[in-house]
Structure 1
Amino acid sequence: MRRHLDRIDQLILAELRHNARIPVAALGDRVNLSRNAVRQRIERLERDEYIQGYTIVEHTAEARANVTANLFVYRTDRMRGGEVIAALKSVPEVVICDVMSGEFDLFVRLEAPSVDRVRAVWQQISMMTGVRDITTTVTLSTVIDRT
Protein backbone atom coordinates (compact mmCIF):
# COMPACT_ATOMS: atom_id res chain seq x y z
CA MET A 1 0.00 0.00 0.00
CA ARG A 2 1.30 3.42 -0.94
CA ARG A 3 1.82 5.67 2.00
CA HIS A 4 1.40 9.44 1.90
CA LEU A 5 4.52 11.43 1.01
CA ASP A 6 5.74 13.79 3.68
CA ARG A 7 7.61 17.02 2.99
CA ILE A 8 11.03 15.35 3.12
CA ASP A 9 9.97 12.60 0.68
CA GLN A 10 8.72 15.29 -1.70
CA LEU A 11 12.03 17.16 -1.37
CA ILE A 12 13.98 13.96 -2.09
CA LEU A 13 11.90 13.26 -5.20
CA ALA A 14 12.28 16.85 -6.39
CA GLU A 15 16.07 16.68 -5.96
CA LEU A 16 16.21 13.33 -7.79
CA ARG A 17 14.11 14.73 -10.65
CA HIS A 18 16.56 17.60 -10.91
CA ASN A 19 19.67 15.40 -10.66
CA ALA A 20 19.16 11.64 -10.41
CA ARG A 21 22.92 11.13 -10.03
CA ILE A 22 23.29 13.25 -6.92
CA PRO A 23 25.35 11.41 -4.28
CA VAL A 24 23.26 10.24 -1.32
CA ALA A 25 25.43 12.25 1.10
CA ALA A 26 24.85 15.46 -0.92
CA LEU A 27 21.14 14.68 -1.09
CA GLY A 28 21.14 14.25 2.68
CA ASP A 29 22.73 17.68 3.07
CA ARG A 30 20.00 19.24 0.92
CA VAL A 31 17.14 17.67 2.89
CA ASN A 32 18.86 17.80 6.31
CA LEU A 33 19.09 14.03 6.87
CA SER A 34 21.94 11.59 7.28
CA ARG A 35 23.14 9.59 4.31
CA ASN A 36 21.70 6.41 5.84
CA ALA A 37 18.29 8.01 6.49
CA VAL A 38 18.13 9.22 2.87
CA ARG A 39 19.08 5.77 1.58
CA GLN A 40 16.30 4.19 3.68
CA ARG A 41 13.76 6.71 2.40
CA ILE A 42 14.79 6.07 -1.22
CA GLU A 43 14.40 2.32 -0.67
CA ARG A 44 10.92 2.93 0.80
CA LEU A 45 10.01 5.19 -2.15
CA GLU A 46 11.06 2.39 -4.49
CA ARG A 47 9.07 -0.20 -2.52
CA ASP A 48 6.00 2.08 -2.53
CA GLU A 49 6.48 2.57 -6.30
CA TYR A 50 7.01 6.32 -6.19
CA ILE A 51 10.31 5.48 -7.85
CA GLN A 52 9.62 2.77 -10.41
CA GLY A 53 12.84 2.49 -12.29
CA TYR A 54 15.94 4.15 -13.55
CA THR A 55 16.54 5.05 -17.16
CA ILE A 56 18.54 7.26 -19.44
CA VAL A 57 16.68 9.93 -21.39
CA GLU A 58 18.84 11.67 -23.93
CA HIS A 59 18.02 15.29 -24.65
CA THR A 60 21.10 16.11 -26.66
CA ALA A 61 20.96 17.85 -30.00
CA GLU A 62 22.07 14.59 -31.61
CA ALA A 63 19.23 12.62 -30.02
CA ARG A 64 16.69 15.17 -31.31
CA ALA A 65 18.27 15.43 -34.78
CA ASN A 66 16.18 12.55 -36.11
CA VAL A 67 13.34 13.18 -38.53
CA THR A 68 10.09 11.65 -37.32
CA ALA A 69 7.55 10.54 -39.90
CA ASN A 70 4.12 9.02 -39.38
CA LEU A 71 2.91 6.59 -42.01
CA PHE A 72 -0.72 5.53 -42.28
CA VAL A 73 -0.51 2.25 -44.18
CA TYR A 74 -3.39 0.74 -46.13
CA ARG A 75 -3.03 -2.99 -46.80
CA THR A 76 -4.58 -4.89 -49.71
CA ASP A 77 -6.13 -7.38 -47.26
CA ARG A 78 -6.47 -6.06 -43.75
CA MET A 79 -7.56 -9.43 -42.33
CA ARG A 80 -4.69 -11.46 -43.82
CA GLY A 81 -2.02 -8.76 -44.05
CA GLY A 82 0.42 -10.26 -41.56
CA GLU A 83 3.27 -10.29 -44.08
CA VAL A 84 3.37 -6.48 -43.98
CA ILE A 85 3.79 -6.46 -40.20
CA ALA A 86 6.46 -9.17 -40.42
CA ALA A 87 8.36 -7.13 -43.02
CA LEU A 88 8.08 -3.93 -40.95
CA LYS A 89 9.78 -5.68 -38.02
CA SER A 90 12.97 -5.87 -40.08
CA VAL A 91 13.12 -2.10 -40.72
CA PRO A 92 15.26 -0.52 -37.97
CA GLU A 93 13.79 2.96 -38.48
CA VAL A 94 10.31 1.68 -37.54
CA VAL A 95 9.92 2.53 -33.85
CA ILE A 96 6.15 2.01 -33.52
CA CYS A 97 3.66 -0.06 -35.49
CA ASP A 98 0.04 -0.11 -34.33
CA VAL A 99 -2.85 -2.01 -35.91
CA MET A 100 -5.71 0.47 -36.15
CA SER A 101 -9.45 0.43 -36.55
CA GLY A 102 -11.05 2.85 -38.96
CA GLU A 103 -9.95 4.07 -42.35
CA PHE A 104 -6.31 2.96 -42.39
CA ASP A 105 -4.86 -0.35 -41.23
CA LEU A 106 -1.48 0.41 -39.66
CA PHE A 107 0.08 3.40 -37.97
CA VAL A 108 3.86 3.32 -38.39
CA ARG A 109 6.25 5.81 -36.80
CA LEU A 110 9.69 6.17 -38.36
CA GLU A 111 12.73 7.85 -36.88
CA ALA A 112 15.54 8.45 -39.33
CA PRO A 113 18.62 10.68 -39.45
CA SER A 114 17.42 12.58 -42.53
CA VAL A 115 14.48 13.23 -44.82
CA ASP A 116 16.33 11.31 -47.54
CA ARG A 117 16.40 8.23 -45.28
CA VAL A 118 12.68 8.66 -44.51
CA ARG A 119 12.02 8.73 -48.27
CA ALA A 120 14.10 5.58 -48.79
CA VAL A 121 12.26 3.74 -46.01
CA TRP A 122 8.92 4.99 -47.38
CA GLN A 123 9.84 3.56 -50.79
CA GLN A 124 10.87 0.26 -49.19
CA ILE A 125 7.55 0.00 -47.33
CA SER A 126 5.46 1.07 -50.35
CA MET A 127 6.99 -1.79 -52.36
CA MET A 128 6.19 -4.45 -49.74
CA THR A 129 3.78 -7.17 -50.82
CA GLY A 130 0.42 -6.40 -49.28
CA VAL A 131 0.80 -2.60 -49.07
CA ARG A 132 -1.87 -0.81 -51.12
CA ASP A 133 -1.22 2.84 -50.20
CA ILE A 134 0.52 5.08 -47.65
CA THR A 135 -0.34 8.53 -46.31
CA THR A 136 2.66 10.22 -44.70
CA THR A 137 3.13 13.14 -42.33
CA VAL A 138 6.41 14.54 -41.00
CA THR A 139 6.68 15.93 -37.49
CA LEU A 140 7.65 19.61 -37.50
CA SER A 141 8.16 19.93 -33.75
CA THR A 142 7.33 18.05 -30.57
CA VAL A 143 5.52 20.11 -27.96
CA ILE A 144 4.67 17.32 -25.48
CA ASP A 145 6.79 14.19 -24.99
CA ARG A 146 5.82 11.96 -22.07
CA THR A 147 7.96 9.00 -23.03
Structure 2
Amino acid sequence: MDAIDSRIIDQLRQNARAGYGDIGDVVGLSASAVKRRVDRLVADGVIRGFTVQVDPAVEGLAVEAYVELFCRGTVSPDDLRRLLSAVPEVVDAGTVTGEADAIVHMRSRDIPSLEEALERVRSAPNVDHTRSAIVFSRLVHRE
Protein backbone atom coordinates (compact mmCIF):
# COMPACT_ATOMS: atom_id res chain seq x y z
CA MET A 1 0.00 0.00 0.00
CA ASP A 2 1.41 3.38 -0.97
CA ALA A 3 0.46 7.03 -0.38
CA ILE A 4 -2.01 7.04 -3.29
CA ASP A 5 -3.76 3.95 -1.89
CA SER A 6 -4.03 5.75 1.46
CA ARG A 7 -5.56 8.79 -0.22
CA ILE A 8 -8.04 6.57 -2.08
CA ILE A 9 -9.03 4.92 1.20
CA ASP A 10 -9.45 8.36 2.81
CA GLN A 11 -11.79 9.35 0.00
CA LEU A 12 -13.79 6.13 0.38
CA ARG A 13 -14.03 6.69 4.14
CA GLN A 14 -15.54 10.10 3.49
CA ASN A 15 -17.96 8.73 0.90
CA ALA A 16 -17.97 5.03 0.03
CA ARG A 17 -20.34 5.82 -2.84
CA ALA A 18 -17.90 8.21 -4.54
CA GLY A 19 -17.29 7.45 -8.19
CA TYR A 20 -13.88 6.30 -9.36
CA GLY A 21 -13.61 9.40 -11.54
CA ASP A 22 -14.34 11.69 -8.58
CA ILE A 23 -11.73 9.92 -6.47
CA GLY A 24 -9.29 10.04 -9.39
CA ASP A 25 -9.73 13.82 -9.64
CA VAL A 26 -8.63 14.14 -6.00
CA VAL A 27 -5.71 11.68 -6.12
CA GLY A 28 -4.51 12.44 -9.65
CA LEU A 29 -5.40 9.16 -11.39
CA SER A 30 -7.83 8.07 -14.06
CA ALA A 31 -11.07 6.37 -13.06
CA SER A 32 -9.81 3.03 -14.40
CA ALA A 33 -6.56 3.33 -12.42
CA VAL A 34 -8.54 4.05 -9.25
CA LYS A 35 -10.79 1.05 -9.95
CA ARG A 36 -7.78 -1.23 -10.40
CA ARG A 37 -6.31 -0.02 -7.11
CA VAL A 38 -9.61 -0.43 -5.25
CA ASP A 39 -10.03 -3.93 -6.70
CA ARG A 40 -6.50 -4.82 -5.54
CA LEU A 41 -7.13 -3.36 -2.07
CA VAL A 42 -10.27 -5.48 -1.80
CA ALA A 43 -8.51 -8.62 -3.10
CA ASP A 44 -5.65 -8.08 -0.64
CA GLY A 45 -8.07 -7.72 2.28
CA VAL A 46 -7.08 -4.12 2.99
CA ILE A 47 -10.63 -3.01 2.24
CA ARG A 48 -12.90 -5.50 3.95
CA GLY A 49 -16.21 -4.25 2.61
CA PHE A 50 -18.49 -1.37 1.81
CA THR A 51 -21.40 -0.73 4.15
CA VAL A 52 -24.37 1.45 4.87
CA GLN A 53 -24.45 2.96 8.33
CA VAL A 54 -27.93 3.67 9.66
CA ASP A 55 -28.57 5.78 12.74
CA PRO A 56 -29.41 3.18 15.44
CA ALA A 57 -32.06 5.49 16.91
CA VAL A 58 -33.94 5.38 13.59
CA GLU A 59 -34.02 1.59 13.90
CA GLY A 60 -35.45 1.86 17.41
CA LEU A 61 -32.17 1.28 19.25
CA ALA A 62 -31.92 4.57 21.12
CA VAL A 63 -30.46 3.26 24.40
CA GLU A 64 -26.73 2.60 24.37
CA ALA A 65 -24.59 1.18 27.17
CA TYR A 66 -21.07 -0.02 27.83
CA VAL A 67 -20.86 -2.97 30.17
CA GLU A 68 -17.85 -4.36 31.99
CA LEU A 69 -18.11 -8.12 32.31
CA PHE A 70 -16.49 -9.92 35.25
CA CYS A 71 -16.18 -13.71 35.15
CA ARG A 72 -15.65 -16.43 37.72
CA GLY A 73 -12.37 -18.24 37.16
CA THR A 74 -10.89 -18.50 33.70
CA VAL A 75 -13.22 -18.17 30.74
CA SER A 76 -11.91 -18.50 27.20
CA PRO A 77 -12.53 -15.81 24.60
CA ASP A 78 -14.41 -18.43 22.54
CA ASP A 79 -16.80 -19.07 25.44
CA LEU A 80 -17.37 -15.33 25.86
CA ARG A 81 -17.92 -14.97 22.10
CA ARG A 82 -20.58 -17.71 22.15
CA LEU A 83 -22.32 -16.17 25.14
CA LEU A 84 -22.33 -12.62 23.81
CA SER A 85 -23.19 -13.58 20.22
CA ALA A 86 -26.44 -15.07 21.51
CA VAL A 87 -27.59 -11.68 22.83
CA PRO A 88 -28.84 -9.52 19.91
CA GLU A 89 -28.41 -6.30 21.90
CA VAL A 90 -24.63 -6.84 21.96
CA VAL A 91 -23.21 -4.84 19.05
CA ASP A 92 -19.51 -5.06 19.93
CA ALA A 93 -17.38 -6.76 22.57
CA GLY A 94 -13.77 -7.47 23.35
CA THR A 95 -11.54 -8.90 26.03
CA VAL A 96 -9.63 -6.22 27.94
CA THR A 97 -6.85 -5.67 30.42
CA GLY A 98 -7.61 -4.59 33.96
CA GLU A 99 -10.15 -5.92 36.43
CA ALA A 100 -12.90 -6.69 33.92
CA ASP A 101 -12.63 -9.68 31.61
CA ALA A 102 -14.47 -8.01 28.73
CA ILE A 103 -16.11 -4.78 27.70
CA VAL A 104 -19.44 -5.05 25.91
CA HIS A 105 -21.21 -2.39 23.83
CA MET A 106 -24.98 -2.84 23.85
CA ARG A 107 -27.92 -1.13 22.14
CA SER A 108 -31.60 -1.60 22.91
CA ARG A 109 -34.92 0.10 22.28
CA ASP A 110 -35.46 1.13 25.91
CA ILE A 111 -34.22 0.65 29.47
CA PRO A 112 -36.41 -2.42 30.22
CA SER A 113 -35.10 -4.25 27.13
CA LEU A 114 -31.53 -3.31 28.08
CA GLU A 115 -32.14 -4.69 31.55
CA GLU A 116 -33.50 -7.95 30.08
CA ALA A 117 -30.45 -8.29 27.83
CA LEU A 118 -28.11 -7.62 30.75
CA GLU A 119 -29.89 -10.28 32.77
CA ARG A 120 -29.33 -12.82 29.97
CA VAL A 121 -25.60 -12.00 30.12
CA ARG A 122 -25.48 -12.05 33.93
CA SER A 123 -27.23 -15.41 34.14
CA ALA A 124 -24.50 -17.19 32.14
CA PRO A 125 -22.74 -19.81 34.29
CA ASN A 126 -19.30 -18.19 34.35
CA VAL A 127 -20.41 -14.57 34.75
CA ASP A 128 -19.89 -13.19 38.24
CA HIS A 129 -21.21 -9.65 37.75
CA THR A 130 -21.38 -6.68 35.41
CA ARG A 131 -20.89 -2.95 35.74
CA SER A 132 -22.87 -0.79 33.30
CA ALA A 133 -22.67 2.77 32.05
CA ILE A 134 -25.53 4.15 29.95
CA VAL A 135 -24.50 6.66 27.29
CA PHE A 136 -26.20 10.07 27.52
CA SER A 137 -24.64 11.62 24.42
CA ARG A 138 -22.04 10.52 21.89
CA LEU A 139 -19.14 12.97 21.74
CA VAL A 140 -16.87 11.40 19.11
CA HIS A 141 -17.53 8.47 16.80
CA ARG A 142 -15.08 7.08 14.25
CA GLU A 143 -15.23 3.81 12.38
Q: Same fold (TM over 0.5)?
A: yes
Q: How far apart are 1:119 and its partner, in Å?
A: 0.7
| Cα deviation code 1:57-109 (max 9, x no counterpart) | 224750584321111111111x2466861322211111222122221112111
Partner residue in 2 for 1:34: none
Change (3 A) 1:66 1:54: same
| Cα deviation code 1:17-69 (max 9, x no counterpart) | 458256x78x59xx5xxxxx8531431442574x9453222247505843211
Change (3 A) 1:118 1:20: same
* Structure showing greater Rg: 1
User: Structure 2 CA distance, aligned partners of 1:136 and 1:16?
Assistant: 31
Task: State the aligned residue count.
Answer: 132
Partner residue in 1 for 2:111: 115
Q: Structure 1 vs Structure 2: percent identity of aligned residues?
A: 16
Query: Which structure 2 residue ranges, 5 or more long, are not aligned?
Result: none
CA RMSD of aligned residues (A): 3.8
| Cα deviation code 1:120-139 (max 9, x no counterpart) | 11112222212111110011
The code of the aligned residue for 1:115 comes to I
- TM-score (structure 2 length as normaliser): 0.67
Query: Which structure 1 residue ranges, 5 or more long, are not aligned?
Result: 32-36
